[in-house]
Amino acid sequence: MSVENYSKYLGVEYFQDSLVNLAKKKEERRKYFQDDFPKYFGVEYLQQSIVDPDVLPLLEKHDITQDPQYSQINVQRRIDLHGHYLERGGFPEDRRVYVALSSPEMGFGVFANVYIPAWSIIAEYTGIITNKFPNTDYAWIYYSTLKDSNADEIKLKVDSRAKGNIARFVNHSENPNCDVVHVPYKNRWRTLYISNKSILQDEELSVYYGSNYWSTRTKINN
């Protein structure tokens, strides 16, 4: 049905009021940028991840080229494509994206402040690389599994509950417009969010959290 016929069907006044309400909602959306995080969310902004001092010695001794994932992905291509971003330390003054309320059910999400072309690096997921973490929505599994002096495995996560950047607010989708790419760089795994299609201004960004995330949440809720 054309816009003209639709407006006649509902009534011109109804159609015009709907457009006004949509415009109003867009205007009223409060945008939060990285420098707003401490004040409004109690989150310390991290441009790059930091390491828990308790696991730092083990992480320093660990060689990520021995990780199974290192041989399973096209490592050199990822370094060639994304190493320049990691070398410069990301985009500390980035205003391409902002945080805003997605919905009462979803909470906050991340939206494009400008048009973002496909295959653009959005952000590195930053936080504290640690083996001490409560059940939290704000964490990614770190690729390396370390071993302590007793040869026991130590699982790590990048925990962005209290310290992190805009990537911590990106919501899940079964059909995401951003990919999660793990890049080996200077003996650390770095997790990047990269757009997999063009993203329009004010469109919400999303990633796929993975099956592990949902199985963990199921155990928590049960």
* Residue at token pair 């003209």: 4
* Burial degree of 112 (CB within 10 A; 0-12, 13-18, 19+): buried
Neighbours of 101 (CB within 10 A): 13
When pLDDT is cut at 50, 70 and 90, the band that residue 53 belongs to is very high
pLDDT tens digits, residue range 166-191? 999 999 999 999 999 999 999 999 99
pTM comes to 0.82
The domain segmentation of the chain, as residue ranges, is 50-221
> Between 180 and 222, where is the model more confident?
180
Per-residue confidence (pLDDT) for residue 27, from 0 to 100: 52
pLDDT tens digits, residue range 109-156? 999 999 999 999 999 999 999 998 777 789 999 999 998 888 889 999
Query: CATH classification of 50-221, choosing from 3.30.420.40, 2.170.270.10, 1.10.10.10, 2.60.120.380?
Result: 2.170.270.10
In sequence order, which residues have a C-beta less than 8 Å from that of residue 162 and are 6 or more positions away?
42, 43, 44, 128
Per-residue confidence (pLDDT) for residue 9, from 0 to 100: 47
3-state secondary structure at position 65? helix
